[in-house]
Structure 1
Amino acid sequence: MQGIPAMLGLLLSATVASVDQLKFLHDTLESVHKEMYISTLLVMQRHQRQSAPDPLQPFYPLAWPTLRIDKGPSVEITRETTYKRPALALVYMDAYEDTVLLDALAESFNDMRVTRIVIWLRVPVSEQLLATICQQATEHSFLNLLVLEGTTSAHRLQPFPRAHFQSIQIQMSPHKIFPIPWLNFQGREAKTQVSLRPPQSFYWKDPLTGGERCSGYIYSLMRTFAEKRNISLVLLQDTAGEAEMDWTTELNETIRGGDLDLPMTGHFANLRGPNQSRINALVGIITITIAVPCGQELRLGDLFISICVPTMIPYMLVNYLCFTVAESLLGAIYNIWAHRRRRFRCINMLLNLRVLRSILGMAGELPLRHRTATALGQLVVCMSYAGFLTATLFGAHLSTLLTMSPQYRHIHTIKELRDSNLTVVFNRMSLSVITQKVDPDFVSSQLPNVQLMLVKDQMDLVTSLNTSYAYQVFAYSHDTLWSAQHHSIRRALCKSRHLDLIRDIPYSIVLQQNSVYGLALAHFVDWTWSAGLLAHWYSHAVHDMSYSSIGPHRYLPQPIGARPIALQDYKTGWTLLGAGCLLAVCVFIAELLVARRRARIVGRN
């Protein structure tokens, strides 16, 4: 603003307007700048030829970067200016035909309808002219618009509930020139409709009263948003055709036609149509995955073989080999140092009872009478410590097996799913995401057996835990599949990370492009995230969905039948005990034979 007062001396020589009018414009721009700084000034004038007057000639050099355009080809300005660098559009009108500049301004200010606009009129103001400007402001959803007339008069646009102009005195008014318009919509009507996509918005029957009402976390979001921002929601009733409408396909056309102002549904941010708002009201981040039937429950023996054996056997073998080699090396070093000749026997490497006894956690003797007592004794201590760790690890695995939830033998990878020829139920929105963002041929090559369903029908099958199909579902914390099975430790449908198709996709509210509710809804959604309301609404919607008529029948797998312990249950234990005793007897006999042979050899020598 330093350059503007310095050039006020040129006002007397200006041919565009009088001194008072220029001073009024200067004071208005300065007041607007004090409210919120102007980073970019967009000047619009219908004639940009050399002979046309320049309304800003007395103000040069300006304090802001200035962009000058006319009604010709539009210049698209990015929406980041709205948040990071607030701009201001100065529209110069010296004829009634200059109202076409608002059309050009609308093309340049896509998704920036809250940007401040100042119209400087150089023609007499009439009711017809203000009505024309008001009509164009309504058509283009301009929210912050100010008309300057003469030297003292100004007309500010009041966009809600219906657009009209209000005369204000800028210098005498204690209020802001451009107040935030979307904090109070003053009862403006907004059309909406339940999307029948649980848990977003759906109808459910109260199990106690039998009455039907609306529920869903986006339904609660829209209802609270309307209450806080003074919006009158008009809930459209479902007709026979609309009740069966697949919102994933018809949503773009519905919003484009203006049939819905606040749809009670969301969409993937990367699949927005050309006529949808670019202002993100993020309501979640989800993962597209596939839930498959869990199959048969694994028995304890199968779990032991699949979990303990792959972990314990390699660990014990590595310890056995390391300690056997270490003991053999120490023995060889001792023989060399003592000048004793002793043959190396492979049987000592294959069957070393001292090492085996230590690894199994049994006590080992310390060779205190030999010259290698220190080194060999430390080795025995290390072997005993390794055996202690092995026994502890085995006990931890065994305790985990005895206390863990039931495990199932189900499909874990896409290849297994393809080989199983199991039908996978998709909805159209998820299928379009995969074909457009992953691979157009992914479904045909990896999932040849795909069936499309409406979202409501798909959710009915999922919540009823029907195991005849595999289902494309959205995975996130406490999702629909979890809510249908969390009351039981057993599962009918299971998920695996190797079945994830796309991870961490932003999910946002869908609005019409340049909607007057866009920025207000985005700020309100951010506030609900910080207050924890979205998580609360979601858990409440999941509760309603779980205990309503959406999924009245759930088919959880039957647990393995429990029966009293009989003698036959100890058959495996007695077999292992007998085998161990037999092995101990054989080892004892072998040690006696080896000791007798050594005694004979010593007697001969």
Structure 2
Amino acid sequence: MLGKVKIVLILLLSQALTQEREQHPHLRLLNKIIQSIHKELYIRTLLMLQHHQDKNCPVQDLNPDDIPILRTNELNNMEIRKNYNQLALSVVCLQDTSHMILLLNALAKSLHHMRYSKIILWMQGKPTEDFLNQISSQAEEHKFLLMLVLGHDQSEEVSIHRLCPFPSPHFERIESTSSFGERMFNNKRLNFQGKKAFVLPKWPLRLTYRNGSLPINWFDDKQIVEFAGTYNLTLVVAEKKDSDGTDPYFDFQLKPRLLSMNEIDEQIESANTFRATSLIVVVPCSRSKSITNVFHKLDPQTWFSYILSVYVTFVVVESLIIVISFRISGHSYRQTSLNPCMNTRAFRAILGLPFPVGPRSSVSLRQLFLAMSIFGMIFSSFFNCKLSSLLTKHPLEPQVENFEQLQESGLTVIADTELRSFIENDGNGEFYRPHLPKLKYMDTLKRAQLIISGNDSLAFAVMEAYWIILDKFQQAIGQKTLCSSKNLTILQNLPLVYIMKKESIYRWPVNRFFRTFAESGILAHWLRISSNTIRSYLNVTIEPILKPAFEPLSIKHLKWLGWVLGCGYGMATLVFLVEIYVGNSKRKVENKVPAPPGDQEMAAV
């Protein structure tokens, strides 16, 4: 009995629904359109929006099968994507044309970050040309791209107009639903039809690419140019100006950059996995020491102090032994003040060279000479071995491998001024201050000149994507000055994006184009030829710098000996002048002393 009651209730309900549908036959077309869209793109949310005063909108009786419905009015503020999902279709019921702006404003808020969502505007009566122009203006303001306007009158005929968003929004009349095809909102391939897109340059050079002059930044901005050429978009360079609003006045900001914390909500949709990068520090590579640094490696000051101390000790001991020996033997010995300054025996002994020994030298003096000979042999052999090894194969200056070594090295790290805000405000300041104490900022052009010039006394904070290009350039010219290290990564997997307007109509097509572009291998090809591209842009020919693995010693490496010889000649000349002065002084003293009386008598005879 209970089963029969259920069957009767189901039949009555189905009859009521059938009668309801028969009361509104024009809804059949709307339901047909919704079902067609549902087959093309699975609809998970059907948003039905109407004015709060419209109580008898026929659309409210629409109940498509298998589609969740969300009914609301302009007084409710909700974001479909944030609270539900982005696979939504919006149906706006417009009974009074004066409510159009209010309802579309509310719809724009509900479709935040969903400008490619499909919209059906259902209205009472056939839309006039002027009213369609008003809707076009609202579509341009809110950046609606996919919209159908359905109007019905008492004759129950439904007029259909489809929005054509490019180059400027306008509507076209659809005479028959059979002309919809599979894509009823837009049955054409994406074509901007020459629409102007304003780009803001961030690179000081204007480089020619695809018969145009744009301030592009290597292959990053070349993708924007390729996108514009593929989809018939006209790029126009925007003049830089101050903007008080939060929404930029340009469509693209050339040269992608990192997102700050206050930009993530609006710009994160511009990021894709192929544009993730890391912020790293590149440092001077390990390199062979120059001949000057080799001699500095010998630590000549220490060697000189050793030699001087041994020389002074030898001269003092020798002088004492000689003086004492002559005193014991009763012979006179005259010691001049200049003898200790030019003791050739001491120099020969220190250098390991043979030196003469007098036949009347005492045993103690001979023992001193023996000790000095042994010392000179060991000292000269050790010094010769060390010098030969350094001159045969120059030692390498170690490369900085981590932040601790970077801090100890005292290298100045140069970063782009565009990264200053990100590093100081969005990065980990507690990390930067101790590990990058000598962090300085420089504008893009000056910093690029320092990098390309092969400066090996500075480190640079760069994006990993740009470092790959720079490394290719170094390999092409055969001069590898800078190197990277896996332990010098500041931040990883950062979104590198192009800054666009809020709700930009280009965001989704650009991301899709970038993904396809990267998957095709074109980016990898551009990366391989990046060094040739840089040289062609700069219009210069750079010959590879070929260096032999081992450079033999030549006369130029011994130029320092000339300075040593010159210093020796100078010292000898100085000593010679001192001797002349001392001799003249002695003669003057002797001339002033009177001769003894015996000598005077003999002189008189």
TM (normalized to structure 1)? Answer: 0.62
The corresponding residue for 2:29 is 24
Match for residue 92 of structure 1? 93
* 1:319-348 C-alpha deviation (Å, 9 max, x unpaired): xxxxxxxxxxxxxxxxxxxxxxxxxxxxxx
**Structure 2 match to 1:69:** 72
d(CA) in 2 for partners of 1:148, 1:7: 27
CA distance in 2, matches of 1:547, 1:504: 31
Matched with 1:148 is: 150
Matched, 1:118 2:131: no
- Percent identity, aligned pairs only, is 26
- How is 1:467-506 mapped onto 2 (pairs within 5 angstroms)? 467-476=456-465, 479-487=468-476, 491-506=480-495
Deviations 1:51-76 (A, max 9, x none): 82353453447531111222124211
**2:214 and 2:237 in contact (8 A); partners too:** no
CA distance in 2, matches of 1:424, 1:280: 28
- Specify whether residues 95 and 477 from structure 1 end up closer, same or farther in structure 2 by C-alpha distance, changes over 3 A only: closer
Distance 1:104 1:182 in 2: 30
Amino acid at match of 1:514: E
Looking at structure 2, the residues matched to 183 and 124 of structure 1 have their Cα atoms a distance apart, in angstroms, of 29
Larger radius of gyration: 2
Task: Tell me the equivalent position of 1:35.
Answer: 40
Structure 2 equivalent of residue 219 of structure 1:
221
Distance 2:214 2:61 in 1: 68
Does residue 442 of structure 2 align to residue 453 of structure 1? yes
Paired residue for 2:163, among 143, 157, 180?
A: 157
- Deviation (angstroms), 1:177: 1.4
Q: What is the one-letter code of the residue matched to 1:66?
A: I
Question: Whole-Å Cα distance in 2 between the matches of residues 170 and 140 of structure 1?
Answer: 28
1:402-441 per-position Cα deviation (integer Å, ceiling 9, x unaligned): xxx9964122221222233322111244344444554123
Deviations 1:549-589 (A, max 9, x none): 49999998987862279xxxxxxxxxxxxxxxxxxxxxxxx
Q: Distance in 2 between matches of 1:457 and 1:93?
A: 59
Distance 2:215 2:39 in 1: 49
Alpha carbons of structure 1 residues 467 and 204: separation in structure 2 relative to 1, 3 Å: farther
- Give 1:233's aligned amino acid: L
Match of 1:129 among 128, 131, 134: 131
- For residues 189 and 456 of structure 2, the distance between their equivalents in structure 1, rounded to whole angstroms, comes to 48
SS of the residue 1:278 aligns to: helix
1:331 aligned partner: none
Q: In the alignment, which of 47, 58, 61 is matched to residue 61 of structure 2?
A: 58
Q: Give the number of the structure with larger relative contact order, counting CA–CA contacts within 8 Å between residues 6 or more apart.
A: 1
Q: 2:172 aligns with which of 162, 166, 171?
A: 166
Distance 1:406 1:162 in 2: 68
Give the direction of change, closer, same or farther, for the CA distance of 1:190–1:60 in structure 2 (3 Å limit). closer
Contact 1:283-1:509 at 8 Å conserved across structures: no
Asked if 1 retains the 8 angstrom alpha-carbon contact of 2:477 and 2:542, the reply is no
Aligned pairs for 1:256-271 within 5 A: 256-258=247-249, 260-268=250-258
Structure 2 match to 1:45: 50
CA contact (8 A) 1:119 1:146 kept: yes
Displacement of 1:482 after TM fit?
A: 0.8
Deviations 1:132-171 (A, max 9, x none): 2111101011110001111321111110011001110343
- Of 522, 535, 547 in structure 1, the residue corresponding to residue 511 of structure 2 is 522
Matched, 1:178 2:185: yes
Instruction: Find the aligned partners of 1:102 and 1:129 in 2 and give their Cα distance.
Output: 14
Change (3 A) 1:130 1:275: same
Superposed CA offset, 1:340-385 (max 9, x none): xxxxxxxxxxxxxxxxxxxxxxxxxxxxxxxxxxxxxxxxxxxxxx
1:526-554 superposed Cα distances (whole Å, 9 cap, x missing partner)? 11112111222344444332565499999
Q: How does 1:311-460 map to 2 (within 5 A)?
A: 408-460=397-449
Q: Number of residue pairs matched?
A: 432
Aligned ranges for residues 583-598 of structure 1 at < 5 Å? none
Preserved contact between residue 47 and residue 69 of structure 2 (Cα < 8 Å): yes
CA 489–433 in structure 1, closer or farther in 2 if over 3 Å, else same: same
Does the aligned pair in 1 maintain the 2:162–2:174 contact within 8 Å? yes
Query: CA, structure 1 residues 295+280, in 2 after alignment: closer, same or farther (shift >3 Å)?
Result: closer
**Letter of the 2:253 counterpart:** P
Provide the alpha-carbon RMSD of the alignment.
Answer: 4.0
- TM-superposed CA distance for 1:42, in Å, is 0.6
Alignment correspondent of 1:292: 283
Separation in structure 2 between the aligned mates of residue 214 and residue 445 of structure 1, nearest angstrom: 36
Shift in CA distance, 479/428, structure 1 to aligned 2, threshold 3 Å: same
Worse-superposed segment, 541-550 or 455-464: 541-550
SS in 1 for 2:178: coil
1:520 counterpart SS class = helix
Specify the alignment match of 2:3 in structure 1: none
Pairwise CA distance, 1:518: 1.3
Q: How far did residue 282 of structure 1 move?
A: 5.2
Q: Which residue of 1 aligns with 2:194?
A: 187
Q: Give me the TM-score of the superposition, normalised by structure 2.
A: 0.62
Structure 2 residue 84 is the aligned partner of structure 1 residue 78:
no
Distance of 1:495 and 1:24 partners within structure 2: 64
- Per the TM alignment, residue 180 of structure 1 is displaced from its structure 2 partner at its CA by 6.0
Deviation at 1:98, TM superposition (A): 2.0
Q: How does 1:194-273 map to 2 (within 5 A)?
A: 194-196=201-203, 202-203=205-206, 216-236=218-238, 256-258=247-249, 260-268=250-258, 272-273=263-264
CA contact (8 A) 2:180 2:187 kept: no
| Unaligned residue ranges in structure 1 (runs of 5+) | 300-404, 566-605
Distance (Å, rounded) in 2 between the aligned partners of 1:205 and 1:90: 47
Per the alignment, in what secondary structure is the counterpart of residue 515 of structure 2? helix
Amino acid at match of 1:267: R
Counterpart position of 1:280: 271
Secondary structure at 1:114 match in 2: coil
